[in-house]
Structure 1
Amino acid sequence: MEQTNTAHKSLTMRALDKVEVVGNKLPDPAIIFFICLVVVWVLSAIFSQMTFTTLDPRTEEAVVVNNLLTGASLADFLSRMVTIFTGFAPLGVVLVAMLGVGVAEHSGFISAGLKRMLDSTPRTLLTPMVVLVAIVSHTATDAGYVLVIPLAGVIFYAMGRHPLAGIAAAFAGVSGGFCANFIPSAIDPLLQSFTQEAAQIIDPTIQVNPLNNWFFNSASSLVIISLAWYLTDKVIEPRLKEVAVDGDPNEIPKFEDLNPVQTKALRYASLTMLAGIVGLIAILYPETSPLRDANGELTTFAAPVMQSIVPIIFLLFLIPGVVYGYMSGTYSSTKDMIDSMTKAMQGMSYYIVMAFFCALFIDAFGKSNLGALLAINGAEFLQGLSLPASVTIVGIIFLTAFVNLFVGSSSAKWALLGPIFVPMLMQLGISPDLTQAAYRLGDSSSNIITPLLPYFPLVVIYCQRYVKSTGIGTLLSLMLPYSITFLIVWTAFLLIYWTVGLPLGVGASYVYPAG
């Protein structure tokens, strides 16, 4: 048995090494996005000459592929190029958050806080703690990408563990476990709105609760934490044992014992951050809070607080970072604070270049309607197979995971797939709640293995801080075990959860019509 296991692990490691080698031979991510842009242009010109009978559920009209190589389309592209780039949502999220985080980092506040945390966190529990924090970060939309993932590398490195293992564990929690969370977030009511609209195609009176998957998502958190813990400690980190940390020493934080001045500065800076959090809660608490939506809700996308997550992160790190900087002696003037922001932006220079090409590609792919054609035809193919309900659920999960490699936005995919999946399964006696849970599972599992994820190149940059040779293939080989394991085990967990009859969420059911 021991020999078999060893042989199996050896085969797995060889396969992952092959993925890394092949992946690292791919062009730079910015060039990949440019190539994809050109491919979309060419395919749009080809497929625009064809007539499709595929109906777009959003318009009830046949899908028409738009030719992006016409003179009018190219003129429109050139006229919008600047706004396409400046309007690229992940770019603003990353840069604004990093301005505040940069001050907290370069003032020494983050390093001092991590030192205190490391003193109280057992080494054996570091991985599940990182994954847990990564999962909870979903509540703050994209905060996990710009905050939790890089900090995980810092924490692992300070603990004497490989920093890339920490980054991989956090990436798995933030992105691979995207639909797993103990705390409801803005994505819940967003997806629910599409689900309800799709369900009303069959039953105009049906109402879907925004927390219809909350119980399953909460239970899934335990599954994701357990799987990521095992994979990080038993598969990923042993594989990284021979990978030397050769990054720029000036870019890798050093952890030394805090002197009395730094200890006092950390105390006051931490109290400042705590006061900011308490103040925010006090502002949010009244039903008439200006940060709530018109109905007094906090978690809808219309709520100002959900649209202000990144500025809140900026302030919650900027102000304590300044307090620590002045009290510890790191800062002596306002210029030092600006220098910290400048250094943070210097580290983001490559991401800005990559984001330019990424924004152009995503805009072109959406305008071409090629993504809609791919998603809808895949869903209709699955519908035409007329498989048993449980097999269809598995098919939805795997189809969603595949489509997710090409269409990144969770809500955009559900706007396309929901009007097909939800009515189809309702006619099989399956509730919209279960269909949505299956979709969210598949959508999460493949996030971490698609270079077309806007934040994927950013994670590569985080890794290069420690291992200069890190490329797309390196990150793919690290994340592939998480993705495949999540997809298989999580799917089995949903089927068992369904069989046992545990509640999916608030006001949810497994069958339609609900008994």
Structure 2
Amino acid sequence: MSQQNAAAEKSSWLNRALNAIEVVGNKLPDPAVLFALLMFVVWGLSWALAGVSFNEVDPRTGAAIQVNNLLAADSLTGFMAKMVNTFVTFPPLGVVLVAMLGLGVAEYTGYINAGLRSILSVTPKMLLTPVLVAVGVLSHMAVDAGYVLVIPLGAVIFYAAGRHPLAGIAAAFAGVSGGFSATILPSSLDPLLSGLTQASARLSSDPAAAELVISPLNNFYFTTASTVLVVIIGWVLTDKFIEPRLKATAVDADAADLPKMDVLKDNERKGLRWATFAMVLSAVLLVVSAMPETSAWRSPVNGELTHSAAPLMQSIVGIIFVFFLIPGVVYGYVSGNAKDHRDIIKGMSKAMSGMGYYIVMAFFCAQFIYAFGQSNLGALLAIKGANWLQEMAFPMGFTLIGIVFLSGFVNLLVGSASAKWALIGAIMVPMLMELGVSPDLTQAAYRVGDSSTNIITPLLPYFPLIVVFCQKYVKSTGIGTLIALMLPYSVAMLILWTAFLLGFWALDIPLGVGASYSYPAVN
């Protein structure tokens, strides 16, 4: 009895702590308003510190660094004059919207839905868990499709296989959200984060940083390899720990009331075959056109395909658009889901209609980053932070661990991945560049921390939806239940994924296309 009381007391303490985090997080303003408020803070600090003398030397001028007063008349008029250009030239804006046009068509016509159902329906029972986790990772290509499709399907196929449906939800949730920064194919998240990284890197006091170009695939090798790690973690924890723990949890719903996983219809199978063939053919044509040494895809500087000046690298977002537009269109017409070109445009329009909030947030984010850069506060913080880190002489491995855990903590309070990275990256990227750490490595550390704690924060926009999915099978499920279910995944990912990144760094395994570990990059 005493052990039960101790366990109950521990559970009660944990629930109180999680409730406190939820209350604090709910009191934070919307990310768009948060950026506006931070811009005002930057303005105020720039005014207060404009007359202060600092000992830190600005490498760009060789003189003591000086904070610029953004409330001066010429600064305010310059800010207003450049407001539109600051917004439309914001690096992540265009790339995300273009990528979403193609993905929107593939999702609207049903190609992504049919593809996921096809993969899960032919999976052997013994491989059900790892394939479900892997499909969760794969669903990132369709942005939020995994939350509304893969997670409920996970419960359905687990229950159909005689397993606990909540274990299926947990495994799918671990892949979709816990493995958010793992990848099999590039997604819209890659150009979004790299665009923010590039904007942050250009806040550096190094004059050369103004021309720095960050590849959208700068973490691709690491995130692709991370897929294997995420699948193994999800597989082992689900089968060896989570599902045995759920044996005592009865399923409330009657079998007749539970949803069934629909079998692909003949028109869907035919559409899937032709659409997948079209995607493969597109990939083959791209490879064939890029192979010749005289290919127009190669860099005019050195003839390499992976050079930042290569049209292939500069076309990643356009390639993502085409690679999902073509199979989406083919599937729509062959399956009958798209009657004419108007349905294709509807798919694009629906994708864009869901990006309204992102566009609003991007506007305020762009203005904040511009103000932060103009004030010189970022350069001052970077130089002071770099000097402090140099004085403390922390091993670089500990510094990377600190970035991971800081990102994971902030994720508990701020839900948007792009909002968090815009806030953290504006300081961490230029600061670590001063210590010789590349923006690519700093971004990779952020992605590990951000992804690992997605599945335990009630502030995740889809978290309440996952609770509803669970309640279809176990009516007593609440937020605390889901957090307790997912906490082992989060802790395991945070520890093992961090060690995985440190292993990449220690062994000097390439992070991604055009990426490096040091700054300036060592060729």
Q: Return the TM-score normalized by structure 1.
A: 0.67
SS of 2:54's equivalent in the other structure is: coil
Q: How does 1:413-432 map to 2 (within 5 A)?
A: 413-414=428-429, 416-421=431-436
Change (3 A) 1:337 1:442: closer
Q: How does 1:111-510 map to 2 (within 5 A)?
A: 111-121=113-123, 122-126=127-131, 128-130=133-135, 133=138, 147=142, 150-151=145-146, 153-160=148-155, 166=172, 169-175=175-181, 223=229, 226-227=232-233, 256-294=262-300, 295-386=302-393, 391=395, 393-395=397-399, 397-398=401-402, 402=406, 413-414=428-429, 416-421=431-436, 442-448=445-451, 488-489=495-496, 503-505=507-509
> 1:267-322 CA distances to partner (integer Å, 9 max, x unpaired)?
11111111111111111222222112122222232221121111111111112211
Where structure 1 has 5 or more consecutive residues not aligned to the other structure, the ranges are 135-143, 199-212, 242-252, 423-434, 511-515
Question: 2:404, 2:498 within 8 Å by CA — same for their partners in 1?
Answer: no
Give the aligned partner of residue 475 of structure 2.
none
Change (3 A) 1:384 1:50: same
Question: 2:133, 2:176 within 8 Å by CA — same for their partners in 1?
Answer: no
| Bigger Cα displacement from structure 2, 152-161 vs 94-103 | 152-161
SS of 2:387's equivalent in the other structure is: helix
Question: 1:214, 1:504 within 8 Å by CA — same for their partners in 2?
Answer: no
- Give the letter aligned to residue 20 of structure 1: E
Change (3 A) 1:288 1:347: same
How far apart are the structure 1 equivalents of 2:91 and 2:128? Answer: 37
Q: CA deviation at 1:56?
A: 3.9
How far apart are the structure 2 equivalents of 1:489 and 1:289? Answer: 41
SS of 2:69's equivalent in the other structure is: coil
Change (3 A) 1:16 1:152: same
Question: 1:133, 1:148 within 8 Å by CA — same for their partners in 2?
Answer: no
Give the aligned partner of residue 140 of structure 1.
none
Change (3 A) 1:80 1:230: farther
Change (3 A) 1:47 1:492: same
- Give the letter aligned to residue 117 of structure 2: K
Q: CA deviation at 1:345?
A: 1.4
Question: 1:397, 1:439 within 8 Å by CA — same for their partners in 2?
Answer: no
SS of 1:62's equivalent in the other structure is: coil
SS of 1:331's equivalent in the other structure is: coil
SS of 1:159's equivalent in the other structure is: helix
> 1:306-364 CA distances to partner (integer Å, 9 max, x unpaired)?
21111111111112211111222222221121122112211212222222212212222
Change (3 A) 1:496 1:12: farther
| Bigger Cα displacement from structure 2, 377-386 vs 259-268 | 377-386
Q: CA deviation at 1:419?
A: 3.8
> 1:83-129 CA distances to partner (integer Å, 9 max, x unpaired)?
21111222212211111111111112121112101213444114541
Question: 1:446, 1:483 within 8 Å by CA — same for their partners in 2?
Answer: no
Count of aligned residue pairs for this structure pair = 432
Across the aligned residues of Structure 1 and Structure 2, the Cα RMSD in angstroms comes to 4.9
Give the aligned partner of residue 64 of structure 2.
62
Higher relative contact order (CA 8 A, sep 6+): 1
Give the aligned partner of residue 99 of structure 1.
101
Where structure 2 has 5 or more consecutive residues not aligned to the other structure, the ranges are 156-165, 206-218, 250-258, 411-419, 469-478, 511-515, 519-523
Give the aligned partner of residue 22 of structure 1.
24
